[in-house]
Structure 1
């Protein structure tokens, strides 16, 4: 058996019971001391206040991290996993990651949205933008905001590996997500994983303001992490909502430019999942070697439109 697949199976078999939350200081878990220019670059390139956004995340984390927040008896966020793959058959390379979510959450609902069943969602609030876009990255963004807004649950990219169950978080929060690692030099949320109850205000804002960012070039600003971050800044925590953006370590322990997996260490230290940065919507020569086995020619041509 492939050693990598075996290691995934071993981790899964050991981790069905979630380990108690392990607290890490927000600044340390973000490794902010290693990226002194992140605030300035965020201000200049993404056009919002990077320091203010970082401090918002720290404040919400200190107020709402699982070590200080009492759990509720019933889940607020539905225990349902949503994933998306459109534009062709699901590549084989992602199936091992999808399986980790099913193994860790055997009693949860699961939906993979594809070209075949996504039409059940139409018309979208942003249907005209969806129809206009040729890029699968942008189309997927438009879908995922509306899917969780309608149904609730957790959205996860197909290149995400689950390390431990998320049940506790669905009893604690109205909304949760995580910051991206700062090795991209910007203070922004990751758009590859987030969870919410139906009709959450952050997602409502995210959906209703797509038109404001549609003029931008590139998925990150138009519909992805940058757009998502601005919606979080605008309404997170309003009306007493338990909203949190975890520091990057918990859901993005592998930096976007890192290659070395320290899976066992990350499990011991309390990480929930690993994003493997497939970048399937980008040109093939920009992807990690593992994810160069499938073509996405049409989408990759317009990834920066």
Structure 2
């Protein structure tokens, strides 16, 4: 793997996904993954397993490896590796329960950082910026800010949403925009940990938060979204035409299958 040039203004044509095995994807994940291949010819597709993720952290961010290994379950590590991947290579990250409905070329010029908003009730607003789909150009300093925020919370024994997932991401987004802690101070500290070719590109990250209908037309926090999710969990997968008709304004849709949550327990290893 080589470090991607951080000078490009376009989001690279690459898609990153991760699962515990590269050869044994569940049928529904394989179906949704094929939608990315069908809609985005010419893209690079990276499907990594847990060992790939750890090797990547060890190679590019050895100073984070002890923290990475100390997380109590794989979901924490799967959350974190996506921020590091987007920082180094840029491109798109998508959970494996995400269906691609339209070519991603249409948003390549909307970098630096693309996030999406999900509709939530007021009590769930902390989950309104999911980390299920994200995109960026390489070496955006915002990802370093997210990583630093996560590192500061890493010893808290709470659910992954709080310290590696969407709650963390939203907090980091608000803090980065609000300047507390000061991004320049945080990024300066992070630069000292990085080898020279991994330094962030100059300037603030331009962050665009897309409206819910673009990436998150299904919300697990409303009745319609819950009904769609339950149907999907029963195995009633939507064909491309069905999904396109149901979500005409969407290029992507995540179905929130919650594969990382196994009964009352988190997946702790492969």
Q: TM-score when scaled to structure 1?
A: 0.64
> What is the CA-CA distance between 1:94 and the residue it aligns to?
0.6
Deviations 1:229-272 (A, max 9, x none): 1222233599564321112221111121522377244443x111
Residue 234 in structure 1 maps to residue 172 in structure 2: no
Alpha-carbon distance in structure 2 between the residues aligned to 1:250 and 1:126: 33
Residue 137 of structure 1, aligned match among 59, 71, 75:
75
- Asked whether the 8 Å contact 1:236–1:243 carries over to 2, the reply is no
Secondary structure in 2 aligned to 1:255? coil
Q: Secondary structure at the match of 1:176?
A: strand
CA contact (8 A) 1:213 1:227 kept: no
Deviation (angstroms), 1:143? 0.9
Runs of 4+ in structure 1 over 6 Å off:
none
Distance 1:266 1:235 in 2: 35
1:185 aligns with 2:124: yes
Q: How does 1:114-263 map to 2 (within 5 A)?
A: 114-123=49-58, 124=61, 125-183=63-121, 185-187=124-126, 188-214=128-154, 215-236=156-177, 239=203, 241-256=205-220, 257-260=225-228, 263=243
Q: CA deviation at 1:132?
A: 1.2
Residue pairs, 1:36-55, within 5 angstroms:
none
Residue 282 (1) aligns with residue 261 (2): yes
Alpha-carbon separation, structure 2, partners of 1:103 and 1:180: 26
Q: Tell me: CA distance 1:119–1:133, structure 2 relative to 1, closer, same or farther (3 Å).
A: closer
Distance, in Å, in 2 between the alignment partners of 1:190 and 1:233 is 14
Deviation at 1:173, TM superposition (A): 1.8
Q: Would you say 1:80 and 2:19 are equivalent positions?
A: no
Normalised by the size of structure 2, how large is the TM-score?
0.71
Query: C-alpha deviations, 1:219-238, integer Å up to 9, x for none?
Result: 00111001111222233599
User: Partners in 1 of 2:268 and 2:118 — Cα distance?
Assistant: 22
Structure 2: distance between partners of 1:298 and 1:176: 28
Per the TM alignment, residue 182 of structure 1 is displaced from its structure 2 partner at its CA by 0.5
Alignment partner of 2:125: what SS?
coil
Q: Following the alignment from structure 1 to structure 2, what is the Cα–Cα distance between the partners of residues 266 and 177? A: 22
Distance 1:264 1:153, change over 3 A: closer
Q: Which of 90, 95, 101 is matched with 2:36 structurally?
A: 101
SS class of match (1:245): strand
Determine if contact 1:179/1:248 at 8 Å carries over to the other structure: yes
Match of 1:15 in 2: none
Do the aligned residues in 1 keep the contact of 2:118 with 2:216 (CA within 8 Å)? Answer: yes
Cα RMSD for the two superposed structures: 2.6
Q: Which residue in the other structure is 2:188 paired with? A: none
Paired with 1:168 and 1:242, the residues of 2 have a C-alpha distance of 18
CA contact (8 A) 1:203 1:231 kept: no
SS for the counterpart of 2:79 is: helix
- Structure 1's unaligned 5+ residue stretches are 1-73, 286-296
